[in-house]
Chain A
Amino acid sequence: MSRAFVEIDNVAMRYGGVEGTLALEGCSMNVAEGEFVAVVGPSGCGKSTLMRLVSGLWPATDGNVVVAGREVDEPLSLVGMAFQNPTLLPWRRILDNVMLPLEVVPAHRARLRRERVAYEQKALDLLKLVGLEGFGAKYPYQLSGGMQQRTSLCRALIHEPPLLMLDEPFSALDVFTREDLWDVLQQVWMARKPTVILVTHDLREAAYLADRVLVMSSRPGRIIAERKVPFPRPRTMETTFLPEFTALVADLRAYIAAARRGEEVV
Chain B
Amino acid sequence: MSAKANARLIAMAAAARRHRRLQAWLPWIVIFGTFGLWELVVHVFGIVPFILPAPSDIMEAAVKWWKPLLDDSLQTLFTTLVGFGLAVVAGLVLGVAIGSSTLIYKGLYPLLIAFNSIPKVAVVPVLIVWFGIGVWPAIITAFLISFFPILVNVATGIATVEPELRDVLRALGARPIDIIRKVGLPRAMPYFFASLKIAITVAFVGSIIAESVAPNAGIGRLMMVASSRFDVPLVFAGLITTGLMGIMLYWVAEWIERRTTGWATRSTEGSNFTPGG
**Chain A residues within 8 Å of B, Cβ to Cβ:** 52, 55-57, 75-83, 85, 87, 89-91, 100-101, 103-106, 135, 138-139, 141-144, 146-147, 155-156, 159, 165, 173, 176-177, 180-181
> Is B126 in contact with chain A by the CB < 8 A criterion?
no
**A100 to B162 alpha-carbon distance, docked (Å):** 16
Q: How many whole Å from A165's CB to the nearest CB in chain B?
A: 7
Closest 5 CB pairs of A and B: A77-B173, A141-B267, A146-B277, A177-B277, A79-B171
In the bound complex, residues from chain B placing their C-beta under 8 Å from that of A103 are 182
- B171 partner, pick from A100, A144, A165, beta carbons under 8 A: A165
Contact present for A105 and B273 (CB under 8 Å): no
**Interface size class, chain B:** 20 to 34
Contact present for B183 and A89 (CB under 8 Å): yes
- B173 partner, pick from A90, A91, A105, beta carbons under 8 A: A105
Contact present for B273 and A142 (CB under 8 Å): yes
Report B166-182 CB contacts with A as 1/0, cut-off 8 Å.
01111111100010001
Contact present for A87 and B171 (CB under 8 Å): no
Can you spell out 22 A-B residue pairs with CB atoms less than 8 angstroms apart? A52-B167, A57-B171, A79-B171, A81-B167, A83-B167, A83-B168, A87-B162, A87-B168, A89-B187, A90-B264, A91-B261, A91-B264, A103-B182, A104-B173, A104-B178, A135-B274, A139-B266, A142-B273, A144-B275, A156-B168, A159-B172, A176-B277
**A141 to B274 alpha-carbon distance, docked (Å):** 9
Q: How many whole Å from B260's CB to the nearest CB in chain A?
A: 9
Contact present for A77 and B186 (CB under 8 Å): no
Report B151-169 CB contacts with A as 1/0, cut-off 8 Å.
0000000000010110111
Q: How many whole Å from A164's CB to the nearest CB in chain B?
A: 11
Contact present for B266 and A85 (CB under 8 Å): no
Contact present for B263 and A141 (CB under 8 Å): yes
**A181 to B277 alpha-carbon distance, docked (Å):** 9
In the bound complex, residues from chain B placing their C-beta under 8 Å from that of A147 are 274, 276-277
**A231 to B183 alpha-carbon distance, docked (Å):** 42
- A75 partner, pick from B164, B170, B183, B275, beta carbons under 8 A: B170
**A39 to B173 alpha-carbon distance, docked (Å):** 25
Contact present for B273 and A104 (CB under 8 Å): no
Within 8 A of A (CB), among B122-166: 162, 164-165
In the bound complex, residues from chain B placing their C-beta under 8 Å from that of A91 are 186-187, 189, 261, 263-264
Contact present for B173 and A106 (CB under 8 Å): yes
The residue among B170, B171, B173, B261 with the most chain A CB atoms within 10 A of its own CB is B171
By beta carbon, the residue of chain A nearest B260 is A91
> Is B117 in contact with chain A by the CB < 8 A criterion?
no
With contacts A77-B171, A90-B264, A91-B261 taken as known, whether A104 is within 8 angstroms of B277 at the C-beta atoms is: no
By beta carbon, the residue of chain B nearest A174 is B277
**Chain B residues within 8 Å of A, Cβ to Cβ:** 162, 164-165, 167-174, 178, 182-183, 186-187, 189, 261, 263-264, 266-267, 272-277
By beta carbon, the residue of chain B nearest A139 is B263
**A156 to B168 alpha-carbon distance, docked (Å):** 8
- B174 partner, pick from A104, A142, A155, beta carbons under 8 A: A104
**A107 to B165 alpha-carbon distance, docked (Å):** 20
The residue among A90, A156, A177 with the most chain B CB atoms within 10 A of its own CB is A90
By beta carbon, the residue of chain A nearest B167 is A57
Contact present for A138 and B274 (CB under 8 Å): yes
**A100 to B186 alpha-carbon distance, docked (Å):** 13
By beta carbon, the residue of chain A nearest B178 is A104
Q: How many whole Å from B164's CB to the nearest CB in chain A?
A: 5
In the bound complex, residues from chain A placing their C-beta under 8 Å from that of B272 are 138, 141-142
In the bound complex, residues from chain A placing their C-beta under 8 Å from that of B275 are 144
Q: How many whole Å from B140's CB to the nearest CB in chain A?
A: 35
Contact present for B168 and A81 (CB under 8 Å): yes
With contacts A81-B168, A87-B162, A159-B172 taken as known, whether A180 is within 8 angstroms of B178 at the C-beta atoms is: no
By beta carbon, the residue of chain A nearest B183 is A89
Contact present for A180 and B263 (CB under 8 Å): no
**A123 to B261 alpha-carbon distance, docked (Å):** 25
**A173 to B276 alpha-carbon distance, docked (Å):** 12
Contact present for B277 and A81 (CB under 8 Å): no
Contact present for A100 and B267 (CB under 8 Å): no
Contact present for B276 and A100 (CB under 8 Å): no
**A56 to B29 alpha-carbon distance, docked (Å):** 61
**A141 to B272 alpha-carbon distance, docked (Å):** 8
**A138 to B182 alpha-carbon distance, docked (Å):** 19
**A55 to B167 alpha-carbon distance, docked (Å):** 9
With contacts A85-B162, A89-B183 taken as known, whether A144 is within 8 angstroms of B274 at the C-beta atoms is: yes
In the bound complex, residues from chain A placing their C-beta under 8 Å from that of B264 are 90-91
**A39 to B138 alpha-carbon distance, docked (Å):** 64
Contact present for B274 and A57 (CB under 8 Å): no
The residue among B164, B172, B178 with the most chain A CB atoms within 10 A of its own CB is B172
By beta carbon, the residue of chain A nearest B261 is A91
